[in-house]
Structure 1
Amino acid sequence: MQINGAVALVTGANRGLGRHFTKQLLERGAAKVYATARRPELIDIPGAEPLRLDILDPSSIAAAAGIATDVTLLINNAGITTYTNLVTGDLDKIRLEMDTHFWGTLRMIRAFAPRLSGGAILNVLSALSWFNYEGATAYGAAKAAQWNMTNGVRLELAPQKTLVTGLHLGAADTDMMAGYQGPKADPADVVRAALDGIEENRLEVVFDEWSAMVKASLAEDPSRFYKLT
Structure 2
Amino acid sequence: MPKSSYIYLHGFASGPQSAKAIDLLDRFSALQIPLKTPDLNQGDFSHLTMSRQLHQVAAEFPPPPTPVTLIGSSFGGLASAWLGQQQLQCEKLVLLAPAFQFLSHWLPKLGEETLQRWQTEGYLSVYHYREKRSLPLSYQFVRDANQYREEQLQRPIPTLILHGIYDETIPIQASRYFAASRPWVKLIELDSDHSLANVLPEIWQQIQAFCHL
After TM superposition, the score normalised by the length of structure 1 is: 0.46
After TM superposition, the score normalised by the length of structure 2 is: 0.49
Bigger strand fraction? 2
Bigger helix fraction? 1
